[in-house]
């Protein structure tokens, strides 16, 4: 064992990656810096409103804020509360609908909430929220009103004494399209819908976009990208300057002649975008607490050794957001060392 230290949560961590109990979330410090820097150069300051749902970590949000992104996008009330508590509440957007906004109205922060119905406008007004964006359905069948209803909802919000800052519309159906031209076309069509709504709503803010569209969405005044900081194998497929920074450290706990088993499974990994990957091997399947993997297709079975029981491996998640939400903390690592351990403090609802 290396030296050990107790952090704020009373959790004993090693100063070396080898000391960490597994499964453990690792965040490569240099890759994180690279991803944050590349995005900040592309979308400086308020052009980026980082979405914190991807990392749920106020320490990581602090890094984004230090790079000049003082406004944040959230998906849950808990994320809004956590950022306000961390002193990062200059301009928080809940890009999601809520029917009880009282916890938001009580925050010591600038709070804006997405609304797409009479009910959510009432909830914002009754909860003491002062500012809203009209959320528009731009093609993803999720939240958002039809573009032709946006103007009348804005009028209603104003009658309820809410400040309407503008519109938002998330083109999530375009994000993972591998063909860049096809993706850009769908983003453009989505932004046409948002532009029509914005013409009726007014306001300075047009909030949209994500990691898959940050480079081709020139219409939005601010981009809500989140995954770019950590990345995952699903986003890696569309080709971008961002690199996978998040890994799950696991220990090989069993081995057979043609496969090995490590101690991380679907309770430690978001699986909705498919199986995780393990460099040099082929993942067979995940169960609750196990990942079973074998030699990669075409490998010479004699030449490629499977890891031995006790070996540590790195597993790359297919979808970062739900993966992070399973864990209490993430370890910032450099080489073999643990630099810092950050709580995933924005988890829950």
Ligand X SMILES: Cc1ncc(COP(=O)(O)O)c(C=O)c1O
Binding site for ligand X (CB under 6 A): 51, 54, 73, 95, 170, 172, 175, 210-212, 224-228
Q: How far is the CB of 116 from ligand X (least distance, A)?
A: 12
Alpha carbon 295 to its chain centroid, in Å, reads 31
Q: How far is the CB of 73 from ligand X (least distance, A)?
A: 6
Q: Toward ligand X, which CB reaches closer, 127 or 226?
A: 226
Q: How far is the CB of 19 from ligand X (least distance, A)?
A: 31
Strands 312-315 and 246-255: antiparallel
Q: How far is the CB of 190 from ligand X (least distance, A)?
A: 12
* Alpha carbon distance 139, 159 (integer Å): 28
* Alpha carbon distance 309, 148 (integer Å): 61
Contacts of 66 (CB under 8 A, 6+ apart): none
Alpha carbon 337 to its chain centroid, in Å, reads 25
Instruction: DSSP for 324-337, please give it.
Output: HHT-SEEEEEETTE
| CB of 76 closer than 8 Å to CB of 103 | no
Q: Toward ligand X, which CB reaches closer, 235 or 293?
A: 235
Q: How far is the CB of 92 from ligand X (least distance, A)?
A: 14
Q: What are phi and psi of 216, to 5 degrees?
A: -115, -5
Q: Toward ligand X, which CB reaches closer, 147 or 210?
A: 210
Q: How far is the CB of 236 from ligand X (least distance, A)?
A: 13
Q: Toward ligand X, which CB reaches closer, 77 or 225?
A: 225
| CB of 67 closer than 8 Å to CB of 86 | no
Q: Toward ligand X, which CB reaches closer, 252 or 269?
A: 269
Q: Toward ligand X, which CB reaches closer, 96 or 277?
A: 96
Q: Which of 93, 131, 226, 246 is nearest to 172 (CA)?
A: 226
């Amino acid at each position: 064992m290396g030296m050990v230290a107790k952090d704020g949560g009373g959790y004993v961590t090693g100063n070396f990656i080898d000391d960490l109990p597994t499964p453990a979330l690792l965040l490569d410090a240099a890759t994180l810096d690279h991803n944050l820097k590349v995005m900040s150069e592309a979308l400086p300051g308020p052009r980026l409103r980082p979405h914190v749902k991807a990392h749920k970590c106020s320490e990581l949000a602090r890094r984004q804020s230090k790079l000049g992104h003082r406004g944040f996008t959230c998906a849950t009330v808990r994320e809004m509360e956590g950022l306000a508590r961390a002193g990062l509440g200059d301009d928080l957007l809940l890009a999601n609908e809520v029917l009880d906004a009282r916890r938001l109205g009580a925050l010591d922060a600038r709070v804006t909430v997405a609304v797409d119905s009479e009910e959510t406008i009432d909830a914002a007004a009754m909860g003491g929220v002062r500012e809203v964006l009209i959320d528009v359905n731009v093609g993803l069948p999720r939240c958002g009103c039809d573009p032709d209803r946006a103007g009348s909802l804005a009028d209603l919000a104003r009658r309820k004494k809410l400040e309407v800052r503008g519109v938002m519309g998330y083109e999530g159906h375009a994000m993972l399209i591998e063909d860049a031209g096809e993706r850009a076309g769908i983003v453009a069509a989505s932004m046409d819908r948002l532009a029509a709504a914005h013409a009726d709503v007014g306001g300075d803010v047009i909030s949209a976009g994500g990691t898959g569209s940050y480079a081709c969405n020139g219409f939005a005044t601010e981009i809500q990208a989140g995954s770019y900081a950590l990345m995952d194998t699903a986003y890696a497929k569309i080709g971008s300057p961002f690199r996978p920074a998040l890994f799950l450290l696991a220990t090989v706990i069993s081995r057979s002649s043609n496969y090995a088993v490590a101690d991380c499974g679907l309770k430690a990994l978001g699986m909705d975008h498919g199986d995780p990957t393990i460099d040099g091997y082929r993942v067979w399947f995940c169960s609750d607490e196990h990942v079973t993997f074998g030699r990669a297709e075409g490998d010479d079975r004699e030449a490629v050794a499977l890891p031995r029981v006790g070996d540590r491996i790195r597993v790359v998640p297919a979808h970062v957001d739900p993966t992070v939400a399973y864990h209490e903390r993430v370890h910032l690592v450099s080489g073999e060392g643990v630099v810092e351990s950050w709580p995933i403090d924005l988890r829950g609802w």
